[in-house]
Structure 1
Amino acid sequence: MFKSLKAIFVTQVVIAVSVVLGISSYIDYQSTKQELSSALVATVDNATNRMKLSLPKAIWDFDLEAAKLSISAELKAPDIKGVRVLDNQGEAILFLRLGPLSEDGEKRPPVDIGADQQAYYEAMPKEESELSFTEYGETNKVGTVQVFYNTDRLEAALADTLYRNIIELLVLDAVMIVFLILALTATVVKPLNDLTERVRELASGDGDLSKLIPEPKYKEFAKITEHINQFTASLREIVNEVTQASINLAEVAAQSGQMARTNAERLEQQKQSLSTVAAAATEMNQSIATVADTANDAATHAQGATDLVNQVYHTIESSASEIINMRSEMENVNAEMHKLLEEGEKISDVVNVINDISEQTNLLALNAAIEAARAGAAIEAARAG
């Protein structure tokens, strides 16, 4: 309940007004009390002053009946409950109060207050005054008059005033609460509810962003209305931008989908190509294995050719030495050279042939070594792959 602005405001105003009315009621109560107290004191004073004038002669003359008549007239005041007259020695001459109604119901003659009732009257507030009688220019004290009164009427009047003030306070509070609730509902709560409903529509996504809140009647709501309208306009721009971006994104998504389908087709083609390449690679591996075997055989044959060439080379070296030796012999037998010329030419041809064979053998060995190296490198590459 106390989280409601209306309830808090009404409570605060009611408390403030109640305090003001309470202070006003207290002042009125004190004023009434003062007035009633003053009236009571004035009544008692007037009664005392009248008896100061009427009682001294009756007391001086010992005319108690006249004194009773004078006292009876004063006892008719509702606040005066008893009157006691004392002599100069302090002894009670009269102690009277109003008695019950007479048989005709018109008079209440005074009656004496008994000893058993005196304590009750002694507890009441009283006013005391001396009684003096002047005769032949001489003032004589004849006694004292005591007027007993109570404050029952005063307290009843004050209680009535207090009750009336409380009733007025409650009625004013009730009227004020109803008025404030109606006024707040019309001037504050309704505009706030309109703003709240507008914000709720925006928050729920059902609000029309093109619709603005009309200008409020009260300037206190102008700023918040203006800011909400500005927020709505900004939100409308954002929604438009998001909508356009969504459209663009949909187009891009469609293009991306087409590209994805194209890429899928290409991947399928690449898959088929890879299958072909894998088959070719398998065949290549088999060819490489065959080449490797062939290279090994070539290397073996090349090694045999190299050994043969080395043997021929040694043979040629031996033949060259013999030819050198034969040269010296040929010089000695120059005569026989001509005979052997044909044979020498034949030998020269043989040597040339042998040299050619040797060079070709070396080339074959070199080519075989190169092919073996290439085959080995290809084998290593194939194994590494």
Structure 2
Amino acid sequence: MLGSYLVPRGYGVYNSYASDVIQIDNYMLFVPYLLFSLTIFYILSYDYIKKSNEIKYSEKKNKQTNYIVFGLYIISLFLGFPVAVQLGFLIIFLSNLDKGEKTQKLFFYIIMLVLSVKFYSFDKRNIIVVLFLIVFFETIKSYKSIRISVKNVLILSFTSILFLFLIITASINRGYGSFEDKSFKNTLTNSIEYIQSDFFIDAITDNLELNYNYGATFVALDYVDKGIIEYQYGLTLIKPLFIPIPRTIFPDKPLSFMNLYTKEYEYSEWIKGAALPVIFPVELYGNFFYLGLFVLFLFYRVLNEMYMVIVKDSNRINFKFFVSVFFVITHLFFIRGGGIDLYVLYFLFAIPTYFISKMVIRKV
């Protein structure tokens, strides 16, 4: 909704999509499709939350906090390991974090968020995922039922404010606002000055990626509708099967939908190897038209089944639990347009972290 207001009116530092979205003339076809995709998500989520509220939970026992696994997470940050590796260590660490030690938990959460802002300022999605991971485990570890209450509304409000603060801080570290002193002690004053500046609305439109996500979504849909991008009939979805095969050996290896879109929208970037992400519902539209909604339903159904595994098995940190948490958390990357091949690669990178962490925990 914000994107539909801000983008056509030219808000944003990089507002190249403003003129593109104005020229699209088939919103009556695209908007219902996107609304249906959101409806599927909300209906399934509500249904599974009701199911999870009916589960009888045993009293959760405190687990021994494992500092070595947290150390492995920090080492992976400084050595620049793939984000999937870092998330793998965090999942195991948070799974074993003693829920009774509130001061200790708060200490680790602050460290995690500070490190996220420092190391992930180039990619806000990573910061979001770490914050989501913390909130997710706090919810699971103290789970009774998900319901509307004053406490939950306050927690949601605080989390939203914290999310915006982290995004603004990361943006300032990346150069927005042109602040000379970006040290930690000036974080709050810089953020206040940034919010009060004349360019804040333009900047926050970019910081939250409203300009890009709104623009790329409708331009990509328009390209498919006009035949600029042909229907793929599932080719982009089976691309992970071809990951081990170099394109030099198999030139007809399927392209991801991101590549198809980038090639048509910004060929100069595509030729350099860059790819512009497009949200998953749009990729499904580019494969199956409105029938893509059925595939989206199956995807969310599987994801919600994984959520049920997490809720039921939160006392048993086994591989099934790890896989479920990892896919539920990283679907934020995928749904935003990372591509199914990247989704699979993330998981493959994370697998060793589970076994390394389990070996460390057994020896402690």
* TM-score (structure 1 length as normaliser): 0.15
Which structure has more relative contact order (CA 8 Å, sep 6+)? It is: 2
**Which has the larger Rg?**
1
Higher strand share: 1
